[in-house]
Amino acid sequence: MSSKQKHTKLIRDKAYELGFMFCGISKAGYLEDEATSLEEYLKQNRNGKMEYLENYFDKRLDPTLLVEGAKSVVSLALNYYPEVKQPGNTYKISKYAYGVDYHYVVKDKLKELFQFIQDEIGEVNGRLFTDSAPVLEKAWATKSGIGWRGKNNLTIHPKVGSFFFLAELIIDLELEYDGPIKDYCGTCTKCIDACPTGALEPYKIDASKCISYLTIELKDAMIPNQFHNQLEDWMFGCDICQDVCPWNKFSKPHHEPAFLPNEHLFKLNAEDWEELTEEVYQEIFRKSPVKRAKYSGLMRNIETLKEAKKNRKN
């Protein structure tokens, strides 16, 4: 077994031991195909008010600008599909936000994996990322065969669907590289047809229309009026394009204790949410991704949903 094969096996085995569902590896290099699509995305203002996506354009496309001498991008996937879901008679939050913020959970696992690499292999330079730096995660996941880029712009694997987080280690160690897998979306357009705001086109998304963007990233005092009747009771995030995807019938419940929901989360009905105090909010969402919206943002969303529901009755 060559050193490349040995090192690759060591890293994969440790990744699976840490609970990652997939580990795919790509050769670090400039993402030429993604450059045009990213430029078009930004020119058409499909990033909405997420101006930070306009920063570090070159770094997003070239991992060697993030890690000097980078040779490999190790892409990882961590399952978050829940065994139990919110009841249907209440305002909804996206499944990824049921438990502890994934940034903490994934980053701790990445740190352990990187330390293991340094302990077992020697001096390896690198950086770890999970949705918090200029890295095109889905592009690297596609290149490494973790899944294909679906028409809903999410990474889909034929055996488990799309309910998983992505993360990366960019390192200056040469490894054995994987390749992409086939796109199995075919003629299906269920995600596009189901999106209430029309945010999706095949393999394209207008984030400024996405319910997740409107309820999380948009910090304005009000959600634009044209979307009020299209939020479908989502108060934080949205899972519609995943819930309707036929590949997610293969999703399996995760085994990560940190992603289990707070005991109070599923007990609140719509009226309880409308009367939510900041004290209760802080208790339920202590280490949750929902903190990204802040109490004021969540209540803005709930008030919007409440008003839309009232208008529909009148």
Q: Is the pLDDT of residue 314 over 70?
A: no
Answer yes or no: do 155 and 227 share one domain.
no
Structural domain ending residue among the three candidates 171, 200, 218: 171
Answer yes or no: do 215 and 161 share one domain.
no
Q: Tell me whether residue 135 is in a domain.
A: yes
Per-residue pLDDT tens digits for 85-138:
998 889 999 999 999 999 999 999 999 999 999 999 999 999 999 987 789 999
Tell me how many domains the chain contains.
2
Q: How many Cα neighbours within 13 Å face the side chain of 20?
A: 26
CB 241 within 8 A of CB 250: no
Answer yes or no: do 143 and 225 share one domain.
no
Q: Is the pLDDT of residue 49 over 80?
A: no
Per-residue pLDDT tens digits for 155-196:
999 999 999 999 999 999 999 999 999 999 999 999 999 999
| Catalytic site residue from 58, 119, 131, 206 | 131
Would you state the pLDDT for residue 309?
86
Question: What residues make up the domain containing 266?
Answer: 190-253+260-313
Would you state the pLDDT for residue 263?
86
CB atoms within 10 A of CB 274: 15
Q: Tell me whether residue 8 is in a domain.
A: yes
Amino acid at 175: L
Q: Tell me whether residue 185 is in a domain.
A: no
Answer yes or no: do 35 and 77 share one domain.
yes
Would you state the pLDDT for residue 239?
98
Structural domain ending residue among the three candidates 140, 171, 202: 171
Structural domain ending residue among the three candidates 116, 140, 171: 171
Per-residue pLDDT tens digits for 125-159:
999 999 877 899 999 999 999 999 999 999 999 99
Q: Do strands 92-93 and 234-236 pair parallel, antiparallel, or not at all (unpaired)?
A: parallel
Find tokens 């987080």 and name the residue. Answer: 165
The DSSP secondary-structure symbol of 262 reads P
Answer yes or no: do 130 and 233 share one domain.
no
Answer yes or no: do 25 and 145 share one domain.
yes
Answer yes or no: do 158 and 12 share one domain.
yes
Answer yes or no: do 14 and 108 share one domain.
yes
Higher pLDDT, 274 or 49: 274
Per-residue pLDDT tens digits for 1-18:
799 999 999 999 999 999
CATH number at residue 70: 3.40.109
CB 163 within 8 A of CB 248: yes
Return d(Cα 106, Cα 78) in angstroms, integer: 8
Q: Is the pLDDT of residue 215 over 90?
A: yes
Q: Tell me whether residue 182 is in a domain.
A: no
Q: Tell me whether residue 181 is in a domain.
A: no
Return d(Cα 25, Cα 143) in angstroms, integer: 8
Q: Tell me whether residue 308 is in a domain.
A: yes
Q: Tell me whether residue 265 is in a domain.
A: yes
Answer yes or no: do 230 and 140 share one domain.
no
Helices (H), the chain: 3-17, 32-43, 57-61, 102-121, 137-143, 190-194, 211-212, 240-243, 270-274, 278-284, 294-313
Answer yes or no: do 265 and 204 share one domain.
yes
Identify whether 131 is a catalytic site residue: yes
Answer yes or no: do 26 and 159 share one domain.
yes
The DSSP secondary-structure symbol of 157 reads B
CB atoms within 10 A of CB 222: 10
The number of angstroms, rounded, from the C-alpha of 206 to the middle of its chain's C-alpha atoms is: 16
CA distances from 195 to 152, 154, 293 (A): 9, 14, 22
59-93 in b/e form (b: 16+ CB < 10 A) is ebbbbeebbeebbbbbbbbbbbbbeeebeeebbbb
Q: Tell me whether residue 179 is in a domain.
A: no
CB 145 within 8 A of CB 80: no
Answer yes or no: do 196 and 165 share one domain.
no
Per-residue pLDDT, averaged over 263-283, amounts to 94
∠ CA(45), CA(50), CA(51), 5° rounding? 80
